[in-house]
Amino acid sequence: IAGITQAPTSQILAAGRRMTLRCTQDMRHNAMYWYRQDLGLGLRLIHYSNTAGTTGKGEVPDGYSVSRANTDDFPLTLASAVPSQTSVYFCASSDEGGSNEQFFGPGTRLTVL
């Protein structure tokens, strides 16, 4: 692995189903982030983690949960998907939080019907 990977690449999901988006980085970055990107809107932060074992809420956390059991992995879970969660989801990481360059994964395109 080189950099940051996400899985799946795309997914169509029925409303009410549970879904976990996976994110793994091999850069030993402390900070990781989940964003959603919708047409006409900027990237919006869902959840973040400044270091393994800690997580925090971003701008739009409702309906999503995260965990950070180790440095490399930062999964995002939709407990019960709704159509408004249709979006492109990007995972990112940075050496530390704040004013450090963020490196982005390739994204997951999620459609909730």
Binding residues (CB under 8 A) for another protein: these are: 40-45, 48, 58, 90, 97-99, 101-107
| Closest distance to another protein from the beta carbon of 82 (Å) | 23
Residue 80 tokens, joined: 């019960």
| Closest distance to another protein from the beta carbon of 40 (Å) | 6
Nearer Cβ to another protein (37/67): 37
Nearer Cβ to another protein (16/56): 56
C-alpha neighbours within 13 Å on the C-beta side of residue 48 = 18
| Closest distance to another protein from the beta carbon of 11 (Å) | 16
Long-range contacts of 84-87 (CB under 8 A, 24+ apart): 84/112, 85/36, 85/110, 85/112, 86/110, 86/111, 86/112, 87/36, 87/37, 87/38
Nearer Cβ to another protein (14/40): 40
